[in-house]
Structures are given as C-alpha cells and as structure tokens.
Amino acid sequence: MKKGTAIVWLRNDLRLHDNEVLSSAILKSEFQIPLYIIDPRWFAQGDLGFTKTGAYRLQFILEALADLRNSLRNIGADLLIKVGQPEEIIPKLAKTLKVNTIFTSQEVTQEEIFIEKNLENKIFAQGISIEYYWQSTLFHIDDIPYSAQHIPDIFTEFRKETEKTTKVRTLFPEPLQIKFPSGLEAGDIPSLASFGFSLPQPHSDSAFPFEGGETAAKARLHYYLWESNLIAEYKETRNGLIGTDYSSKLSAWLSLGCISPRYIYFEIAKYEKERKKNQSTYWLIFELLWRDYFRLVARKFGNKLFAQDGLKGNSLKWKTDIANFIKWREGETGIPFIDANMRELKLTGFMSNRGRQNVASFLTKDLEIDWRWGAAWFEHCLVDYDPCSNWGNWAYIAGVGNDPRENRYFNILTQAKRYDPKGKYVRTWIPEIAQIEGFNINRPDQYPNTIKYPSPLVKIEKWA
Ligand code: FAD
C-alpha cells in the first residue's frame, strides 16, 4: 500500500530514465518531492588553496538541474533546490512537509557516508525512515559474484568472472507522472556567480563543449552511436587527444547520473544487433566495467582510498614541493606534453584519458610529489569528477592502488612521440609553440625559451 509523502533526495542520479530511487518512491508513496541540495562544503578552500569543486563542474551541475527540473515539470512535478547541508535541510523539510520516508541512492565514499549517518541520527529521532538504492553501476552490486569485502584486487580477475556470471538488469521505465504536493515553492536555480565563480569564454578547441543534463547526455549517446557510428572505431580512437570525437565523452554525465550505464549498455547492444558488433563496441562496455570496479574498490577499502599509503599501505616517500606542484598545476613544467594537458584541463575542465595517465605519472613518478595533491587538483578541475574513479585511478598510477604491475612508469617523451607525433596537440594548448612555424615535437632545439628543455624539474636521461 502507498504510504504518505516521500522526499526523493537526488544526488548522483539526475535523470528520469532508469532511476530506481524515483521509481520506488512512486510505487511506495502517495506524494513524491524530488529534492537536490547544493552543499556549501563543496566550495570550502582546501589546504592547497583551491576549492574541492570548481567552476566547470558546478556549471555542469546547474545545467543538469535545469534540465531535470524541466523534465519533472512536464510530468506534473518540480525539483526543489536548496543550498545548505543535507543533514540540516532534510529533517526540517521533512517535518514541515510531513514526510515519512526519504528515498535516495547508496553512495560509497567517506564524505557522503558521513552525511548519511548524521542525517539518519536526526530523522530516525523524528520517526522518519530512509531507503537506499544502489544505482550507479552497470552491474548491480547484488548480482556480482563477490561480497563487498571479496572484490578481487586485480581488475582483470573481477571483469572476467563478472562478465561470465552476471547479467545487466533491465531498465526502470521512465515515470509518466509524479504526484507532487500542490503549492510547494521549488526555489530558483542559483547562478554560478552566487557561489563566487565565473567561467572564461568557452575555448574553441575544447574537447568537452557539452551541457549538463539528461537531454544532452542522451543526445550525445545517440550521436556517438547512431548518427556518427564513432562507436565502431572506439578502440582505435580512444587514445586520441584532440576534439570531441576520439572517445564517448560520456563521463561527466555518468558521474552526475544524467545517464545510466545500463541505458548505455542496452543502446550499444541494440547497435550491435542492428548495425555492427566488433571489438570497439565491446570496449566501451569494458571501460564501463573499470568504472564499476573503482566504485566497488572504494566501497571495499573505505577511507584507505584517500590515504597517502593508499589501498596497499605502501609507505612510499612523497615530496611536498609546493613550487613544483604549482608548475605542474599551471602547465609550466617545461615539458610540452605535460604542459599542454595541464593547460587544457585548466581551460576546459577536461583532459583525455591518455593525458590523465601521463600527467599523473609525471607528478608522482618524476616529480615524486604526493599523489593526493594531484588527485585534489583533478577533483577541483574535472567536469567529470567522480570520487571513486578519480582517487582510484590516481592511487593506481601512483603505485598505491590496484595496479598489479609494480612501478608502472610512463616515459613522457615516448608517449608524446607516439600520441602527438606532429606536435599538433601541444601546439593547440601552448601558444608559445603554436607560433613556431613547422614546429617538430622531436626537435627540442626548436622549443621556445619559455619551454626549458631539458626541463630543470626532472632528470631527462630517465627518459632516454
Ligand atoms: P571513454 O573512453 O569514452 O570511456 C567510456 C566511459 O568508461 C567513461 O565515460 C568512463 O565512465 C569509463 N571509463 C573509461 N576509462 C576509465 C577509467 N580509467 N576509470 C574509470 N572509468 C573509466 N573518470 C571519471 O569519470 N571521473 C574522474 O574523476 C576520473 N579521474 C581520472 C583520473 C586519472 C588520473 C585517470 C588516469 C583517469 C581518470 N578517469 C576519471 C578515467 C578516464 O580518464 C575518464 O573516464 C575518461 O577519460 C572520460 O572520457 P570519456 O567519457 O570520453 O571516456
């Protein structure tokens, strides 16, 4: 039987399609109040002098909220938007609106769990219950062949066994109607400026010129599969560096839950049936499994994910050289391939996977700087920031995570020659280089004075 009024506290599930939280609230309660809370703690200054969440991600969130609000209004509801701490706002709202259940997604990382526990303490005292739903991975946690603590420490082991034994669950249908209490003031969507942020003019070479929201996410997937057939070449193009098309660019929408990985999976399955099935179409699913894996690893290891000695408890020696960190952060190391990537990140909120691997390796293995500083800068900049994928990948590259290979190391010059042989990428992001006619990445003697080669920051013979 349907029971009273529910708050649907949306977090990283800003969509109508395949949304178990929303579907369950509709099934179990008479009225549903979708709610999103922007937490000021996201904008607290960290020890390194920058906020956890930066302008690109916040802008993307605000766009996603506008889109979701629009979709909810089309089915008779609205999206309440509040600014404040969830554990303060929800109990008050629940009391005023006589809510008896909170429906929300299940998160796995430290800060989210801390908020959940504080919230529970308050609402349980008010006689209000909370229901959590697991909904951000491709494979449901209850279907995989491992219990939480037994997730293998090696990805391949996890992938092979899971692929063999587990089926992707079917999609929850998009709700056609939501019963929203009448007369409820939903609140305006705040502006970027109200949080003290502004964004530069979009960069014409941005690899990520997209808007937040479910509508844009579905449009991108449609383009990537059905309009362009790019999916059929993904395995060959995915290490690209320039433009919108070398990879799916779905990560930012996935991180906010504007698109469900299951929805992507079933669209690819349809594409494979109707157009083409090859290694590339499989490879995108393979990458989604990495995403699942990092979430499960975060759940297994808890706060170790954010600790200096990481998941393995490897107490490596890390430097805390702030001057070199700032050079890395600002794209002023003197290594063109590193600087181009870091400048792209700062100017657009995005960097390719190949770039991320290289700059993370450079910071941790060449500059030997505390990997958590790099992860924190990525957290601030990335439009697609996701705590599990970000900290999991950083720990992996720093040698304190799930990499079975000891001492994985990226030779930056070899990488630059392989992935940017003509220097097109570095020319795109480093204006000093762009001015040099016929610049050749393999001719360090051609580097402008501002680019000091060999860089004084690293012993370049390491790369010889
Ligand atoms: P595609 O190549 O099209 O891949 C499809 C999807 O698979 C991606 O959208 C993503 O959801 C998933 N995926 C691909 N590679 C990985 C991976 N290595 N780990 C986890 N999921 C993956 N990804 C994030 O979503 N958020 C992060 O905060 C993040 N931080 C990273 C930090 C470092 C140091 C590194 C090396 C990687 C990080 N990644 C992160 C993973 C990866 O770089 C991005 O997911 C990818 O570049 C996004 O572009 P895309 O959507 O076009 O990816």
Higher pLDDT, 344 or 449: 344
- Ligand 1 centroid–CA 307 distance in Å is 21
In b/e form, how buried is each residue of 152-176, taking b as 16+ CB within 10 angstroms?
beebeebbeebeeeeebbebbeebe
pLDDT (average), residues 305-330: 92
Closest ligand 1 atom to 359 CA: 34
In the reported structure, the alpha carbon of residue 75 is separated from the centroid of ligand 1 by a whole-number distance in angstroms of 33
3-state secondary structure of 419: helix
- Rounded to an integer, the average pLDDT of 257-263 is 98
> Residue 276: what pLDDT?
97
**Relative orientation angle of helices 353-361 and 387-398, to the nearest 10 degrees:** 50
pLDDT in tens, 275-308: 999 999 999 999 999 999 999 999 999 999 999 9
Residue-level pLDDT at 403: 81
| Residue range 24-44, pLDDT digits in tens | 999 999 999 999 999 999 999
Q: Which of 389, 396, 400 to mutate to test the pocket of ligand 1 (most atoms within 8 A of CB)?
A: 389
Q: Is the CB of 292 under 6 A from ligand 1?
A: no
d(CA 458, CA 464): 12
Inform me whether the pLDDT recorded for 371 exceeds 60. Answer: yes
For 219-227, what is the mean pLDDT?
A: 98
Taking the CA of residue 395 as centre, how many other CA atoms within 13 Å lie in the half-sphere pointing to its CB?
28
Structure tokens belonging to residue 38:
């922007």
Q: Confidence class of residue 407 from pLDDT cuts 50, 70 and 90?
A: confident
- Protein residue whose Cα sits closest to atom 22 of ligand 1: 291
DSSP state of 461: G
- The whole-number average pLDDT for the span 340-350 is 97
pTM of the model: 0.96
Minimum mean pLDDT range among 66-75, 201-210, 321-330, 454-463: 454-463
The answer, yes or no, to whether any atom of ligand 1 lies below 6 A from the CB of 298, is no
What percent of the chain has a predicted confidence (pLDDT) above 70?
Answer: 94
- % of the chain beyond a pLDDT of 90: 83
Give the separation between CA 58 and CA 156, rounded to whole angstroms: 34
Give the pLDDT score at 417: 86
State yes or no: pLDDT of 450 exceeds 70: no
Mean pLDDT of 168-193: 95
Q: For residue 125, how many other CB atoms are within 10 A of its CB? A: 9
74 and 105 Cβ atoms separated by less than 8 Å: no
Q: Please choose, from the candidates 230, 232, 260, the residue with its C-alpha nearest in 3D space to the C-alpha of residue 245.
A: 230
- Reply yes or no on whether the pLDDT at 443 is more than 80: no
Torsion-angle region of 127 (φ positive above 0: left; ψ -120 to 50: alpha; else: beta): left
Determine the distance separating the centroid of ligand 1 and the alpha carbon of 35, expressed in angstroms: 28
Query: Residue type at 360?
Result: A
Tell whether the model's pLDDT for residue 1 goes beyond 80. no
Is it the case that residue 2 has pLDDT exceeding 80? no
Write out pLDDT tens, residues 51-69.
999 999 999 999 999 999 9
Ligand 1 center to residue 456 CA distance, Å? 31
pLDDT over threshold 70, residue 442: no
Minimum-distance ligand 1 atom for the alpha carbon of 294: 20
* Pairwise pLDDT comparison (412 vs 297), residue with the higher score: 297
Which residue CA neighbors atom 50 of ligand 1 most closely?
249
In 3D space, the residue among 246, 253, 177, 244 whose CA is nearest the CA of residue 218 turns out to be 253
User: What integer best gives the mean pLDDT of the chain?
Assistant: 93
Amino acid at 327: K
Average pLDDT estimate for 112-141? 97
Does the pLDDT value for residue 422 go beyond 90?
no
Three-state DSSP class for 292?
helix
Distance between Cα 386 and ligand 1 center (Å): 9
The two three-digit tokens of residue 139, written as one number: 């494979």
Q: What confidence tier does 455 reach under pLDDT thresholds 50, 70, 90?
A: low
Question: SS3 sequence, 390-415?
Answer: HHHHHHHHHCCCCCCCCCCCCCHHHH
Q: Is the pLDDT of residue 423 over 90?
A: no
pLDDT on residue 452: 57
Cα 73 to Cα 16, 67, 239, 246, 312, distances in angstroms = 12, 10, 40, 35, 48
How far apart are alpha carbons 299 and 422 in whole angstroms? Answer: 42
Could you give the CA distance from residue 123 to residue 162 in angstroms, rounded to a whole number? 37
Centre of ligand 1 from the C-alpha of residue 68, in Å: 24
Query: Predicted confidence band at 131 (pLDDT cuts at 50, 70, 90)?
Result: very high
The reported pLDDT for the residue numbered 438 is 72
DSSP string covering 245-279, please?
Answer: SSS---HHHHHHTSS-HHHHHHHHHHHHHHT--SH
